Every structure is written in C-alpha cells, then in structure tokens.
A = this chain, B = another copy of it.
C-alpha cells in the first residue's frame, strides 16, 4: 500500500471488500469490460498505471494481460457519486479485452421486442483464444 491512502477513504467497498470497475477505451469510448477490485488492486493500479483487478474465481490479484499480454494502460481513474463504482479510461494493448478474443466483453445485443427478444452476438472474434492463452 502507498503511504498516504486517504483517497481510498472516499471509496465504498462492498461486504467482500470489493468495488466494480469499468474499463473504457480512452479513445473510442467503447466499454471493454467490468471486473472487480479490492483496495490492494486499486492501489497497485494507481502505482503502476496498469489495470489490476481482483479475480473472484481465483481469489488473487489479476494483473490484466499477465497471460494474454493484453495489458490495459490507465489514462484516467474516476469515481461515481456514491463512491461505489470505479471507471478506468484505458488504452487496451492488442485491442482485445475479452477472454473470447473480442475487443469488448459486451458483444451480445438484445434484439426483438418484449416477449420475443433474443441475444445476438454482434462483434467479431479478433483472435482465437487458443492463440491468446497458450
């Protein structure tokens, strides 16, 4: 942890000590993904300028890109009015944030009207996940 972490006091972590973080492409405005951070992940993100999350499944720090190389360079960090959501404006190395090999995790769009709606995959896979995670 950094020496002066009073900026962390403005943040409302949930019962598990986590806060959701949105990663947004700083140039295009595309929302790339949402993941979780604990205080340590956020602190390391600020210190290194690279997005670090908390993996709830693996229960450890997840330095985004550690396996894929798809690092996120952090240009700006914002906090919402309730202090319970973080927004990262990032440069996405490799142009791929999603583990499916797509730019964004939000690649499914709801089509149709109420009662007949379906999810349609609308964004292309840019790289086969098998070639990302070797």
Contacts and interface: CB of A to CB of B under 8 A. Distances in A.
A108 to B, nearest CB: 5
Contact of A80 (B7, B34, B80): B34
A28 B114 CA distance: 27
A49 B97 CA distance: 29
B119 A10 contact: yes
A110 B77 contact: yes
A12 interface: no
Contact-residue size bin, chain A (C-beta under 8 Å from the other chain): 35 or more
A107 B119 CA distance: 32
A33 interface: yes
A109 B77 contact: yes
Interface centre among A7, A79, A102 (most CB of B within 10 A): A7
A66 interface: no
Interface of A: 2-5, 7, 10, 20, 22, 24, 28-31, 33-34, 43, 46-47, 76-82, 85, 87, 98-100, 102, 105-110, 113-119
Given A7-B110, A24-B31, A28-B29, 8 more contacts: A22-B31, A31-B31, A46-B114, A76-B109, A78-B108, A80-B105, A80-B108, A85-B105
